[in-house]
Amino acid sequence: MKIRSVEPVEVAAPEGERSSPWSSTVILVRVTTETGAVGWGEAPTTLMTRPVFESVGEVARFYEGRDVSEMGAAFREFGRYSFYQSRSMEATSALSAVDIACWDLAGREVGAPIHRLLGGALRERARAYSNGWYSDCIAPEEFAAKARAMVASGFTALKFDPFGDQYGALSPAGLGAASRRVEAVREAVGPEVDLLIEYHGRFFPEAAVRAGRELDRYAPRFMEEPVKPELSDALADFRARVRTPVALGERLLTPADFLSFLRRGLVDILQPDITNSGGFTFGREIAGVAAAFGAPVAYHNAFGPVQTAATLQMDATLPTFFLQESFEASWPEWKRSLVRGYALERGEFRIPKGPGLGIEVDEKAVERYRSDATEPIGPEPPWVIAGTWVRRSGGAPPPGPPA
């Protein structure tokens, strides 16, 4: 099965449909063989839509004309040529998407799900945690009401960012507001539901520690990216002073990155993203690193349905699987329409058993939503859940972050 073409396809929210920046664009990658067989991959977009789209063309040069069975060689050859790959989110994202699509083709060729090619499934279902559910929440009672609804729908774990417009530094008022939001959610859902606190990598070390020590009282299961990524050495002090485990990984790109964080004692729970950390090819190695350290793995999964399908194939094989992130309950309808084949039921995913990724991409829907748009800018950063940064009363952006 020689690869005839590698094509990036951007799809985006239709005009007039409100959609958070993190969900407003999706980059799919379609790999087609000379026999007409098609495999699908996906790449992340957050303020990278057009650079990643163009990077797929660079990756394609190493795959087109080769047999699908040579995808490992193509993957490594790209690494030899791409001088900045290990530090380029655009390069690794494009490579990851193509790798996912090639594994999809390989599974389809032999009529087996990818998890069987990786050694077989260790589980048939993956416990999910809900994210995105707190759109437009500002007041503690708003967080509480939506949290109760998510638990009523079957979720037993919820992730949310309680910090509003705080960035860099953390004011006493900002910390108090965050504490009240977490307290309200904990009281609303009870002690049996896992609460996962999202920092979004926004704080300086002192602010992160103050937040961690305050929110420890609500017994969260983990705190995600508490400090700015470039200040990651401060995580050792954070872990020494805060009881709650640290989770991170969506901005780590290679197995060596994950190994380094584990060796230095900077992380408890790994959150690789299959769409930027080397697809299945590096995914197998990251799983091995995690297993060697006994580190729980909770894959990051914030973009589109092909990403979810690929991630579930990895989840099936992980010796240290912990939780699976899910935005599905909060997705806009256009994104739901892109794929058929996996199901989220009462807070759990069923692992797809069909060949390859185990899904079917609706190419008519892909064409319907094809776009060359870039993500909107403002009034909130692209990583913010809609309405949680800008106060509805004034509608104006908050003051800029401290210098």
Q: What is the DSSP string of 138-206?
A: -SHHHHHHHHHHHHHTT-SEEEE---TT--BS--HHHHHHHHHHHHHHHHHH-TTSEEEEE-TT-B-HH
210, two tokens: 């103050």
- Residues above pLDDT 70, as percent of the chain: 97
In this predicted structure, the answer to whether residue 18 has a pLDDT above a threshold of 80 is no
Average pLDDT over residues 69-79: 98
To the question of pTM greater than 0.85 for the whole model, the response is yes
- Residues above pLDDT 90, as percent of the chain: 89
pLDDT at site 379: 85
Average pLDDT over residues 23-49: 95
Separation between Cα atoms, residue 334 and residue 140, nearest integer Å: 30
Average pLDDT over residues 306-332: 97
Active site positions, annotated: 200, 300
Angle at 388 between CA 385 and CA 393, to 5 degrees: 140
pLDDT at site 374: 86
In this predicted structure, the answer to whether residue 333 has a pLDDT above a threshold of 70 is yes
In this predicted structure, the answer to whether residue 155 has a pLDDT above a threshold of 70 is yes
Rg (CA), the chain: 20
Q: Is pLDDT larger for residue 241 or for residue 379?
A: 241
How many other C-beta atoms lie within 10 A of the C-beta of residue 371? Answer: 16
Q: What domains are defined for the chain?
A: 116-356 (3.20.20.120)
- Chain segment 233-276, per-residue pLDDT in tens: 999 999 999 999 999 999 999 999 999 999 999 999 999 999 99
Q: Residue written as tokens 């908050």?
A: 398
Confidence bin at 395 (pLDDT 50/70/90): very low
In this predicted structure, the answer to whether residue 393 has a pLDDT above a threshold of 60 is no
> Order of strands across the sheet with 25-33?
3-12, 25-33, 38-43
Confidence bin at 400 (pLDDT 50/70/90): very low
Average pLDDT over residues 286-310: 98
Confidence bin at 92 (pLDDT 50/70/90): very high
pLDDT at site 269: 98
122, two tokens: 């260790």
Confidence bin at 394 (pLDDT 50/70/90): very low
In this predicted structure, the answer to whether residue 315 has a pLDDT above a threshold of 50 is yes
pLDDT at site 382: 84
Separation between Cα atoms, residue 55 and residue 326, nearest integer Å: 27
239 alpha carbon, distance to own chain's centre: 23
Average pLDDT over residues 342-366: 97
201, two tokens: 């990598």
pLDDT at site 16: 77
- Which has the closest alpha carbon to 224: 148, 323, 344? 323
Confidence bin at 378 (pLDDT 50/70/90): confident
- Chain segment 111-124, per-residue pLDDT in tens: 999 999 999 999 99
Q: What is the mean pLDDT of the chain?
A: 95
In this predicted structure, the answer to whether residue 401 has a pLDDT above a threshold of 50 is no
In this predicted structure, the answer to whether residue 402 has a pLDDT above a threshold of 60 is no
Confidence bin at 392 (pLDDT 50/70/90): low
- Which has the closest alpha carbon to 213: 268, 177, 247, 175? 175
Run of H or E residues at 283 = helix 279-293
Separation between Cα atoms, residue 301 and residue 305, nearest integer Å: 9
- Chain segment 100-152, per-residue pLDDT in tens: 999 999 999 999 999 999 999 999 999 999 999 999 999 999 999 999 999 99
* Residue 26 vs residues 149, 162, 200: alpha-carbon distances, Å: 27, 26, 20
